[in-house]
Amino acid sequence: MATTLLTHLLLPNLRQQNQAWILNVSSMAAFSPIGFKTVYPASKAFIRHWSLGLREELKGSGVSVCVVYPGPMKTNQDVTQRIENQGFRGNIGLLTPEDVAVIALRQMFQNRGTIVLGFTNKMSRFLMAMLPNWFKIPLISRAVEKEID
């Protein structure tokens, strides 16, 4: 809700600029529903679809909308602990928040609408698009359920 409201409030000022950028942060979780973590991927899917739709609406206006899909990041103590508890699997695609920011900003200024960071995350996105829901949702959900336990 905050992303939508802030964009709505700031958009009139952004449209007055010769060039302006909006960079929204989604997640790799936006590419599949996940049991035991249902609200998070749903909210990230909203950011994904809303950003891409807004990008189309603002095409030619001088305002560029981009959406970044970071994978795992050690952002706070709780997240760091969960990533470390996963061992090798938790470190696949791991980037620092600083690296995510640098890469995302660089690609935003190159006018990339969709920014998926790192080879591992790009492969994951490809697989999520290829695998049917009946297969991928239980697979991902079991991993999350184990993490919760």
Measure CA 126 to chain center. 14
Q: Is-catalytic flag, 69?
A: no
CA-to-CA distance for 107 and 100, rounded, in angstroms?
Answer: 11
Q: Please list, in sequence order, all residues whose beta carbon lies within 8 angstroms of the beta carbon of residue 52, skipping any fewer than 6 positions away.
A: 65, 67, 113, 114
Is 140:34 a contact under the CB 8 Å cutoff?
yes
Measure CA 141 to chain center. 18
- Using CA atoms, how far residue 128 sits from 11, 97, 116, in Å, is 33, 24, 13
Active-site entry in 10, 16, 19, 40? 40
Supply the residues annotated as catalytic: 40
